[in-house]
Amino acid sequence: MRITIWLSIVTFISTLYWPQLLNTSGMLSCALVLFVFLCWPRWRYLSAIPLTALYFSSFVYMTFLGGSVALVNPNSIAQNKYLLNNNNHKSSVNFISDALDAQDNNITVRIKSLINTKNSGYFIARITAFNGQACHYCPLIEMRWFRPVLQVQAGQIHQFKVRLKALQGNANPSGFDRQKWRYSQHIAYIASIKTHLNTIDPSLSLRAKLYQKILQVTDSMSQQGSLIALIFADKSLMSVSNKNSIKELGIAHLFAISGLHIGLLFIFSFVIFNGLLKKVLPGRFLGWFSWRLVNTLSFFVCIGYGYISGFSLPTQRALLMLLLGILMLSSKRKVSLLDLLVLCFWFMLLFDPLAILSSSLWLSFVAMSSILVFMWSMHRTEHLNRQDLPWWKTLLQNTITFIKGLVLLQLVLTLFMLPIQLVNFSAISLFSLFINLIAIPLFSWFIIPFTLLGSLILLIIEPIGVLFLSISNNLLEIFLDYASGLTLGYLALSDLTVSLILSTGLCILLCLFLWLLKRFFVVSQTLLSILIITFFSFIVLRITELKWDEQNTWQVEVFDVGQGLAVLVKSEGEVLLYDTGPSYSSDYAVADSTILPYLNARGITELDYLFVSHSDNDHAGGVFAIQDKLTIKNTYAGEAALMHREQIVKGHSFRKFKQCLAGQSFRLGKLTLKVLSPSKVGKNNNDNSCVIKISDGHKSVLLTGDISKVVEQKLVSENTTNQEANLKADILIAPHHGSKTSSSLAFIKQVQPDWVVFSAGYKNRWRFPILSVVERYQLLNVEHLTTANTGFIRFNVENQHIDVKTYREDLASYWYHRHLAF
């Protein structure tokens, strides 16, 4: 049985690297292999592999395709049409597939998200009917309402007219993988609301009523957003400064209701109920049932907390793992701790196979495992007989024991969660251990209990409930105020640094393991020496390889920033960034989740050049985010005066922009940069775009911004009269994202590109790139790439050869990064 469970877990983990889900032939092959394994007793345990693969694919299809018994033919679920495919986004089997092609669809949904004035135009809902037909098993959808005419609430049922499209997130290395995360939350569609048709059921859920009540009474509290996050797992009201402070202090796990939260609440409840039960009903009356009763009561407290937080998927997984742990610990049957943890992890994956896509699974599991290890060791420890000691000595020893246990628990959590944190976030807080030694007891014993008690009492005796919430608010304010100075200990690490840290840790563990083996077996000193020498040789070779690539290869990298543009050029350690992508509010720019994480992962803290083609938001939206985080030596813009005024209006005091003008020339490593346009700044923003040609003397790239055919014609004319204005380039970043106002035939013929890149958003409202423009490039045998389809694009130029890699097809070619062919 152990081998079967281990094989099943390994198969689940392998799905992270599947290029596609099983199609009809794949499922039939798995079924055949399963039958063969079941027929041979010696191979029967191997049946876990095909069975798990079948289960995973079926679960994904049912979760994302949904359907109704009357509407969907079960035999069509596994058809090849549902596979992920970049070249074809249409299918005609499922009713959702047809809806994706339709302009308008009438859907009935039950609201799932808790909604306030800040997120009223963005919420999650579950479909209950589709175009008048009942939907018995339908997926979750992400709903977007540009100008909401009413504020819906959790539990209500509404009917909307919407435009539906498959979920598509920006796909970049090192940045936040929104598409993968949304899939892990069982969301695969986006519905843009056009009209609200009808309110079918206006009644709110109990959770929504409590949410509205707490919003009302905490409106004047400084830490309202943090209180709401602790109670309902809703962070929409938290300020950006608070979110950043919490992340940099290393206490984000305390504001995410998941494994650690549930585990800490269980320990708190266990201690309280255990103390009360010993006072009310001494152990001699309950006997062996005493400990089990305390476990049960504590678990029901966690269930109540899970309901208030909306039974999010991380909460469900934590509760499931806690339940299994309690059942095993409360039973008389002996079970090893390793078996218990493996069994819990397996059940979590069976319950929700898509959890494997979420980093919260690993964080929750490691946190809960650490707490279970701690509880297991504490439960097995023999307690000293202190009946003959004076009361003050007993109190002192209990206090010392408590502090030791707290420090031990934090050390265990830090040790076990450090690798997960490094892999997922590439950052550490140097003071996290010290901060958590204060924060965990403060939150566990005061802030969270006061917050939850205040929320419950609020419905009965409002003044007392408000008092408890006020205490929590004051404690949070004091803690964050005093701890804010420790945010300086937050270190963002490059991928190379993270790899070195993890490799060193692995090497140390291996050496310790071999050293321990010396107690039982003969392990030669030579073996240890060879291991250490091999490790250091590998490190030296890896660093040498990276340095060689840096000196001999230059790169052009186009970020997937949605409807916008951002291009990075690197040569011999020098870096140029052309445009910065869009921003959607004063608090958020796409650069924060795409460009900056990538630069950090590559260890880039300084830009030699920042060029902003022109002032439009989709090109200049991330300028201030970039300037705030990086050192920039030279800053140029096609509309320098306008960008400078924008800095002053928004209160930023950074390096002044220099005007980008035709004729300017720069050096970037071994590359030559030549500015071809504008000759002067005019009234048309797009035509003021800074056009740059970058070349190593053999291969080149042309960056064009949003120029129109007017500027293209001007460049073509200059090219025929001035040899230095040569437009020929191997790589062309398409003007204006593939708009019909650009990419004239004469311009394309002059550039003669081998590749053209359209940087455009998935199913954007302008429908860029325009089909006629794409066909124009195809007519001249130019290979085209669109970031909406490929994600991040990298051109490696070495020895006069250009190698192209895209994120969805080469760098991370996994099923959850491809387009869903619905």
Higher pLDDT, 314 or 560: 560
User: Which residue, 186, 161, 185, is CA-closest to 108?
Assistant: 161
Give the Cα separation of 768 and 762 in Å (integer). 9
How many whole angstroms separate alpha carbon 1 and alpha carbon 6? 9
Of the given ranges (186-190, 407-411, 792-796), which has the lowest mean pLDDT?
407-411
Query: Is pLDDT above 80 for 768?
Result: yes
Question: Half-sphere exposure of residue 443, counting CA atoms within 13 Å on the CB side?
Answer: 26
On whether the CB atoms of residues 237 and 314 are closer than 8 A, the answer is: no
Q: Which residues of 740-775 are buried (b: 16+ CB within 10 A; e: fewer)?
A: bbbbbeebbebbebebbbbbbbbeeeeebbbeebbe
Shortest CA distance to 451 belongs to which of 427, 475, 428, 432? 475
Residue 585: DSSP 8-state: S
Q: Are strands 691-695 and 671-677 parallel, antiparallel or unpaired?
A: antiparallel
Reported as half-sphere exposure (CB side, CA atoms, 13 A), residue 446 has a value of 13
Nearby residues of 770 by Cβ (< 8 Å), 6 or more positions away: 738, 739, 740
Judged by DSSP in three states, 9 sits in: helix
Residue range 661-670: mean pLDDT, rounded: 95
Q: What are phi and psi of 797, to 5 degrees?
A: -110, 115
Q: Tell me how far apart the alpha carbons of residues 738 and 734 are, in angstroms, rounded to a whole number.
A: 6
DSSP label of 44? G
Beta strands in 364-430 (DSSP E): 427-429
Neighbours of 73 (CB within 10 A): 11
pLDDT given at position 702: 97
Please give the model's pTM, rounded to 2 decimal places: 0.86
Enter the tokens of residue 386: 């202190």
Portion of the chain with pLDDT greater than 70, in percent? 89
For residue 91, the model assigns a pLDDT of 34
755-758 and 731-733 beta bridge pairing: parallel
Query: Using one digit for the tens of pLDDT, what is the confidence trace for 75-98?
Result: 443 343 333 333 333 333 355 666
Choose among 25, 29, 198, 169: nearest CA to 109.
198
Strand partners for 123: 143
What's the pLDDT score for residue 820? 58
Q: Per residue in 167-198, pLDDT tens?
A: 888 999 988 888 998 999 899 889 999 999 99
Angstrom distance (rounded) from CA 315 to CA 203: 25
Write the DSSP symbol of residue 810. Answer: I
d(CA 774, CA 302): 56
Closest CA to 797 of 675, 665, 668, 677: 668
Q: Is the distance from CB of 419 to CB of 195 less than 8 angstroms?
A: no
Query: Which of 495, 550, 475, 562 lies closest to 765, judged by CA?
Result: 562
SS3 of residue 731 by DSSP: strand
What percent of the chain has a predicted confidence (pLDDT) above 90? 43
Written as six digits, the tokens of 572 are 């011999």
As beta bridge partners, residue 156 has none
Give a three-class secondary structure readout of 425-453: HCEEECCHHHHHHHHHHHHHHHHHHHHHH
- The predicted-structure confidence for 498-508, as pLDDT tens digits, reads as follows 888 888 888 88
Q: Is residue 688 over pLDDT 50?
A: yes
Note every long-range contact of 717-723, with CB atoms under 8 Å and residues 24 or more positions apart, other chains counting. Answer: 718/676, 719/750
3-state secondary structure of 641: helix
Instruction: Please name which of 88, 80, 82, 43 lies closest in space to residue 63, comparing C-alpha atoms.
Output: 82
Distances (CA, A) of 702 to 563, 677, 711, 726: 19, 12, 14, 11
Provide the CA 735 distance to its chain's centre, in angstroms: 31
Strand ordering across the sheet containing 700-703: 665-668, 671-677, 691-695, 700-703, 731-733, 755-758, 783-786
Q: Using 50, 70 and 90 to split pLDDT, how confident is the model at 379?
A: low
Over residues 614-637, mean pLDDT: 94
Q: What's the pLDDT score for residue 314?
A: 76
At 103, list the tokens: 């302009």
* Structure tokens given for 316: 């469900």
pLDDT band at 73, cuts 50/70/90? very low
Cis bond leading into 173, ω under 30°?
A: no
Statement: residue 474 has pLDDT above 90: yes
**Per-residue pLDDT tens digits for 211-263:** 999 999 999 999 999 999 888 888 888 888 888 888 888 887 777 766 667 77
CA atoms within 13 A on the CB side of 554: 23
Helix (H, G, I), strand (E, B) or coil at 387: coil
Whole-number Å distance between alpha carbons of 281 and 301? 20
Q: How far apart are the first and last CA of the chain?
A: 39
Quote the pLDDT of residue 287.
55
Q: Of the ranges 205-209, 323-327, 743-747, which is most confident?
A: 743-747
Q: Which residue has the tokens 């960056």?
A: 703
Provide the H-helix boundaries in 102-198: 178-184
Least confident of 230-239, 283-292, 308-317, 753-762: 283-292
Q: Please, are residues 720 and 726 in contact by the beta-carbon 8 Å criterion?
A: no
Nearest to 56 by CA among 118, 1, 8: 8
570 burial class (0-12, 13-18, 19+ CB within 10 angstroms)? buried
Cβ 790 vs Cβ 762: under 8 Å:
no
The answer to whether 538 touches 517, Cβ cutoff 8 Å, is no
pLDDT at 102: 67
Q: Which residues of 308-322 are buried (b: 16+ CB within 10 A; e: fewer)?
A: bbbebbbbbbbbbbb
pLDDT band at 569 (very low <50, low <70, confident <90, very high): very high
At 91, phi and psi to the nearest 5?
Answer: -155, 165
| Alpha carbon of residue 585 to chain centroid | 20
Higher pLDDT, 274 or 692: 692
Question: Which H helix or E strand runs over 70?
Answer: none
What SS3 class is residue 655? coil
Split at pLDDT 50, 70, 90, the class of 442 is confident
Band the pLDDT of 394: cuts 50, 70, 90: confident
Of 694, 763, 685, whose CA–CA distance to 733 is shortest?
694
**22 Cβ neighbours under 8 A, 6+ residues apart:** 30, 53, 54, 57, 78
Q: Are 642 and 648 in contact (CB under 8 A)?
A: no
pLDDT tens-digit profile of 699-745? 999 999 999 999 999 999 988 776 666 899 999 999 999 999 999 99
Q: Is the pLDDT of residue 386 over 60?
A: no
Q: Is there a contact between 758 and 564 (Cβ–Cβ < 8 Å)?
A: no
Least confident of 199-208, 373-382, 449-458: 373-382
Q: How confident is the model at residue 772 (pLDDT cuts 50, 70, 90)?
A: very high
Cβ neighbours, 10 Å, residue 401: 14
Lowest mean pLDDT among 261-265, 519-523, 586-590: 519-523
Instruction: Give the tokens for residue 619.
Output: 């090109």
Residue 87 parent element (H or E): none
pLDDT greater than 70 at residue 71: no
Which amino acid, residue 431? F
| Residue 59 · residue 353 · CB < 8 Å | yes
Q: Where are the alpha helices (DSSP H) in 484-565?
A: 495-517, 525-552
Q: Which residue has the tokens 């965990």?
A: 440
Computed over every residue of the chain, the mean pLDDT equals: 84
Q: Hey, what are 231's tokens? A: 């109670």
For 661-693, b/e burial (b = at least 16 CB within 10 A) is bbeeebebbebebbbbbbeebeeebbbbbbbbb
Residues 199, 160: contact at Cβ < 8 Å? no
